[in-house]
Amino acid sequence: RCNLTGWWENELGSRMHVSEVDTEGNFSGVYYTAVSSAQKPIEPCPLVGSQHLDEDGQCTFGFTVNWKKFSDSTAVFVGQCFAAEGQEEVLQSSWLLREKVDSLPSDWKATR
């Protein structure tokens, strides 16, 4: 069964720590990104999310990271945890990043 609690690292070197997942699937933690286009130094930022608690352990999840400590952007991640018998759990996810822009006409370039 998939358990998101603990430390995770992606192929770019970003890491996150997920605190204990409660009985409803809610969790919080800290994200340590290894990549940023912000001008300020990177700092760890809070995350909050929810995990679908499936009996087969192949759960879906989503979480939001507020980059408030060094950027005016917010990111959302959605994915699924794969937990094969006797193997390490693997998270597969996609993300969207929303950067603050100065005006509505600039909206087209705000999300990637």
Instruction: Please enumerate in sequence order all residues whose Cβ is within 8 A of that of 53, keeping only pairs 6 or more positions apart, or say none.
Output: 25, 59
Position 72 scores a pLDDT of 86
Domain extent, residue 29, equals 6-99
Position 9 scores a pLDDT of 93
**Domains of the chain: total:** 1
Position 65 scores a pLDDT of 95
Q: What is the mean pLDDT of the chain?
A: 90
**What does the alpha-carbon distance between residue 51 and residue 6 come to, in Å, rounded to a whole number?**
14
**77 contacts 65 by C-beta, under 8 angstroms:** yes
* Confidence band, pLDDT 50/70/90 cuts, at residue 12: very high
Here the CATH number for the domain that contains residue 65 is 2.40.128.30
The pTM for the full model equals: 0.86
- pLDDT tens for residues 20-53? 999 999 999 999 988 887 778 888 999 999 999 8
Least confident of 45-49, 51-55, 74-78, 84-88: 84-88
Give domain status of residue 78, yes or no: yes
Residue of higher predicted confidence among 27 and 59: 27
Give domain status of residue 65, yes or no: yes
Give domain status of residue 28, yes or no: yes
